[in-house]
A and B are shown apart, each in its own frame.
Chain A
Amino acid sequence: KNQVEQSPQSLIILEGKNCTLQCNYTVSPFSNLRWYKQDTGRGPVSLTIMTFSENTKSNGRYTATLDADTKQSSLHITASQLSDSASYICVVKGNNRLAFGKGNQVVVIP
């Protein structure tokens, strides 16, 4: 069973609208959690990193949250733009190991 589960698998949103992506993990012990953005045919680029003591962190229109008790994280995209169309990958660092989610595929339409 994958240690990092992301939902929804894919979604389509209208330009200008907000959306929230979910990441649930079972990795233990937990060290940190990163959200990456991967444009089609490109390598992933880090958006945010969340450590155990952090609840919220923003990077422009991207806001990540972490609830270490329930082992859940979310990535909120505000006022989406066409350039937000990408796969968003949740990566959890555990004990000398990285666990990758399968990604949330986001398509923003005009």
Chain B
Amino acid sequence: DGGITQSPKYLFRKEGQNVTLSCEQNLNHDAMYWYRQDPGQGLRLIYYSQIVNDFQKGDIAEGYSVSREKKESFPLTVTSAQKNPTAFYLCASSPFGDRVSEQYFGPGTRLTVT
């Protein structure tokens, strides 16, 4: 899991509540990413950030929001607008500010919304 931490490991929320997932890295990487992983599916990109104070929507950004105020941190907020928020969420970082450098993944956060 390298120098990427995600917290908490497990998160439970009631439907209709917003929830924020934490992702911190001490690798001095420029780029950070959020993915969603569902059973039997490949990783899907939610948002990514190539530099501080800038981020881009991925393939499934609806119902999610992010911020990148510091190089080390890239929190993800799952809003009540996300129709199916229960999933395993993975944060990643890469040394360069493009989308295709090797990505180092955090340990993940499993979010359950009931």
Residues on A facing B (Cβ under 8 Å): 2, 4, 9, 31, 34, 36, 41-46, 49, 89, 93-94, 96-98, 100-103
B42 and A2 form a contact (CB under 8 A): yes
17 contacts between A and B (CB under 8 A): A31-B100, A41-B88, A41-B107, A41-B110, A42-B107, A43-B4, A44-B105, A46-B102, A89-B43, A96-B100, A97-B99, A97-B100, A98-B100, A100-B42, A100-B43, A102-B42, A103-B42
> Pick the contact of A43 from B42, B99, B105 — CB < 8 Å?
B105
Majority-rule SS of B interface residues = loop
B42 and A89 form a contact (CB under 8 A): yes
A43 and B90 form a contact (CB under 8 A): yes
A102 and B40 form a contact (CB under 8 A): yes
Given the complex of chains A and B, what is the CA–CA distance between A80 and B90 in angstroms?
A: 27
- Tally the A-B contacts, defined by beta carbons under 8 Å: 51
Q: Which residues of B contact A41 (CB under 8 A)?
A: 9, 88, 107-108, 110
Given contacts A89-B42, A101-B42, A102-B41, whether A43 and B107 have CB atoms under 8 Å apart is yes
How far in angstroms is the closest Cβ of chain B from A38?
Answer: 8
Q: Say if the beta carbon of B85 comes within 8 Å of chain A.
A: no
Given the complex of chains A and B, what is the CA–CA distance between A103 and B41 in angstroms?
A: 8
B1 and A43 form a contact (CB under 8 A): yes
Q: Mark B79-114, 1 if CB is under 8 A from A, else 0.
A: 000000000101010000011101111111010000
Given contacts A34-B102, A96-B98, A96-B99, whether A42 and B42 have CB atoms under 8 Å apart is no
Given the complex of chains A and B, what is the CA–CA distance between A27 and B42 in angstroms?
A: 15
Given the complex of chains A and B, what is the CA–CA distance between A49 and B100 in angstroms?
A: 13
Q: Which residues of A contact B105 (CB under 8 A)?
A: 36, 43-45
- Taking CB atoms and an 8 Å cut-off, the chain B residues in 66-83 that contact chain A are none
B43 and A42 form a contact (CB under 8 A): no
Q: Which residues of A contact B90 (CB under 8 A)?
A: 43-44
A93 and B42 form a contact (CB under 8 A): no
Q: Which residues of A contact B99 (CB under 8 A)?
A: 96-98
Q: Which residues of A contact B110 (CB under 8 A)?
A: 41
Closest 10 CB pairs of A and B: A43-B105, A100-B42, A100-B43, A102-B42, A93-B100, A44-B105, A43-B107, A43-B106, A43-B108, A42-B107
